[in-house]
Structure 1
Amino acid sequence: MHEPRFLIVYALLLEAGAFVLLLSRSSDDLLLIKYLGLHAVASLLLASGAWALLPSGFRKPRIWSWVLTFCLAFFVPAFGLVAILGGVLVGYFLPAAFRKEPFVTVSAPAFNPVPMPAGGGFRQEDLKTLLLSSDSPTELRLQGMMTVRRMPTRSTGEVLRDTLDDQVDDIRLLAYGILDQKEKAITRQIDRAMRLLDSATLSRKYRLYRRLAELYWELVYQDLVQGDIRQLALDRAYHYVDVALSEKSDDGGMWLLQGRICLAQGRLTEAEQSFMSCRMLGLPASRVNPWLAELALWRGQYTRVRKLMGAIADNTRSSSLNQSARYWRRA
């Protein structure tokens, strides 16, 4: 079936041909009948194409709304075309101008560092500000680096990379060492899994495919790789997820991981398909809905975000997820 815009183009071409035929100096007695035939076909195509482009609310009742569009095109040549196309534009833009949106733009919340107990080291100082400040004592900054070393790299990767060009050699080398140590810990596990894969049995291979997909994804999730290396890690993670799913297509965890990889690559349609596969395989809403909500947030579908987060039960183990669900229920 042709797309609506192609039908409109065909209609315009036929209508132009009909006008040329009507304005010709031919003495054919059937000239008017030929014109009306071409004009009728053009009106039919124009009505079908324009009707398909109308908002859903303008296409009810279905038969009579199409008949009205056809009559306008057939009985009002030229001006009917302008009226129909104008109606399409009005149908889309006029309701949007008067639609009341339930959402408002709010400013980003300010970060308030948690005060540390007396003698705990940094008291109320912001750790990131401390590490990036060249005015702070080097000894205190080194203590901050030791604290960062024990924190997840997903939360500290950005500040560690910012200190790689620090003027103090100890700070710069320590930041490089922390990042390199955590990256090598994962790459060693990848190398070990690759060696085991060569001599593994069929059942063992499936578990290794899963393991490799999770390890490559961990490099990205922990914010340990950047640029082309990050893209390579995403590609390898997707490859091993795909291989694992070809061995066992009912693995909901792998479908969820595939969706997160696609989301990180900006492949929103494939990510949604993967997340929906998780739902069909029975994964609970608390595991799938947050990612579907993030996907809807990327698309600006705020009503769908509220619906998805509202479907999450209050007794989930993650406190942050409970807080997000309660926020969207009130939104």
Structure 2
Amino acid sequence: MSSLKLLIYAISAELGSLLLLLSEKTSLGLFLLYLTSHGLASALMTVVAWGVLPSRFRTPKVASWLLIFGFAFFIPAIGLLTLLSGVLLGVWLPNSLRQQPFALVAQPYFTPVQAKPGSGFRQIDLKLLLSSDDAPDALRVQGMLVLKDMPARVTGKLLRESLGDSYEDVRLLSYGILDQKEKVITRDIDRAMQLLERAKESRRYRLARHLSELYWELNYQDLVRGDIRRITLEKAAFYADMALMESPQDAGLWLLRGRILLAQENLAEAQQSLVFARRLGLSANLVNPWLAEIALQRCQFILVKRLMGEISDDSQFTNLNKSVEYWSDHGVSLRRQG
């Protein structure tokens, strides 16, 4: 309602200014009165027009306001009409041409169909399913397809066992899943190697760290075995050392190096790397489980209990929580009894 009133006032002031402009009398006072009336009409019209503009056209505020006022003031009468028509057209036209992304559709008619027994995949233990001789082959194939989307770290052992399955489709799926996961990481390794060969010194640290992580991932996901695993761990350790030469304060890389050496059964150097990572600021939740594993292999059960006791109770790893609880309450006494 206030905009409508301002619009009426603007039109009235502009009509008054036009009457003064068309008057037969000529004097400076009459001309100043015309400018005042026309300026007031232009200002009121500017307020109305600026208020109905879309928000994206209102910035910058002062510049957009001055532009509208100048258009209305320096083009008497016609400027106001054109401005009003342009604003109305700019508001109405986009709305009339805009395509609506949604539309009403008829309600679908649902016809219930009884599923055939055994036609779907049942939520049972995949290991029991794939190793069962009584399970239908089609159901076992569906179980393999479920394994495809699961982390290789969890499914690697089961997939390798399925390589010797009596059903050919299961064997082929096992090989295909393992090969696909390995090729994804291998392609990343080849790409990083090419970048490292022509990289500037400032980028060598990040590329070497990335290569160490990729080689470690092959082992972590259980995608390599035997001599290939040994070579993979050697490569991971090599690039970890290369990166640490560039950035010896990288605590996370010292942790990775410790885990690589632990996988190589180099307990002494693994412990040194893990202790150094702890000194550089990594929390006990991240480092102590691996230090405890080294102590456990050395049968240092008191040390295991102390290391696990330093881990906070709010650790996000469920399995780690169970280990902490075990060593806090029963660890040493059970080990002594054994």
List per-residue Cα deviations over 1:122-147 (Å, max 9, x = no partner): 33x32112112233101110111011
- Residue 311 (structure 1) aligns with: 310
Aligned residue runs from structure 1 range 247-326, under 5 A: 247-326=246-325
| Shift in Å, 1:320 | 2.5
Q: Deviations over 1:7-62 (max 9, x none)?
A: xxxxxxxxxxxxxxxxxxxxxxxxxxxxxxxxxxxxxxxxxxxxxxxxxxxxxxxx
User: d(CA) in 2 for partners of 1:296 and 1:120?
Assistant: 48
Q: What is residue 121 of structure 1 aligned with on the other side?
A: 121
Q: Which residue of 2 aligns with 1:183?
A: 182
Deviation at 1:282, TM superposition (A): 1.3
1:167 Cα deviation (Å)? 2.0
CA distance in 2, matches of 1:121, 1:324: 34
Deviation at 1:265, TM superposition (A): 0.8
Mapped to 2, the partners of 1:263 and 1:120 lie a distance apart of 43
Q: Which amino acid aligns with 1:220?
A: N
- Number of paired residues? 213
The 2-side partners of 1:258 and 1:274 are apart by 7
Q: 1:156 & 1:256 partners in 2: Cα distance? A: 25
Q: In 1, distance between residues paired with 2:319 and 2:151?
A: 17
Structure 2 length-normalised TM: 0.61
Residue correspondence of structure 1 range 236-255 to structure 2 within 5 A:
236-255=235-254
Please identify, of 278-287 and 223-232, the stretch whose mean Cα deviation from structure 2 is larger: 278-287
Cα drift, residue 164 of structure 1: 1.1
Map 1:1-331; keep pairs closer than 5 Å: 121-123=121-123, 125-331=124-330
- Assess, with a 3 A threshold, how the Cα gap between structure 1 residues 120 and 203 changes in structure 2: closer, same or farther: farther
Kindly state the Cα deviation for residue 318 of structure 1 after the two structures are TM-superposed.
Answer: 2.2
SS of aligned partner of 1:249:
coil
Measured in 2, the distance between the counterparts of 1:151 and 1:188 equals 20
Query: Which digits, 9 at most, give the CA deviation of each residue in 1:60-79, with x for residues without a partner?
Result: xxxxxxxxxxxxxxxxxxxx
Change over 3 Å in CA distance of 1:181–1:330 after alignment to 2:
same
Shift of 1:195: 1.0
Q: CA deviation at 1:119?
A: 9.6
Moved over 3 A (4+): none
What is the alpha-carbon distance in structure 2 between the residues aligned to residue 202 and residue 244 of structure 1?
11
Gaps of 5+ in 1: 1-117
The gaps in structure 2 that reach 5 residues or longer are 1-117, 331-338
CA-based RMSD of the aligned residues comes to 1.6
* Separation of aligned partners in 1, 2:289 and 2:201: 34
Partner of 2:4: none
User: TM-score normalized by structure 1?
Assistant: 0.62
Q: CA 1:268 to 1:173, structure 2 compared with 1: closer, same or farther past 3 Å?
A: same
Q: Which amino acid aligns with 2:255?
A: L
Work out which of the two has the higher radius of gyration on C-alpha atoms and give 1 or 2: 2
Give the % identical residues: 56
For the residues of structure 2 that align with 1:188 and 1:167, how far apart are their CA atoms?
Answer: 32
Q: Do the aligned partners of residues 203 and 178 (structure 1) sit closer, same or farther apart at CA in structure 2, a change above 3 Å counting?
A: same
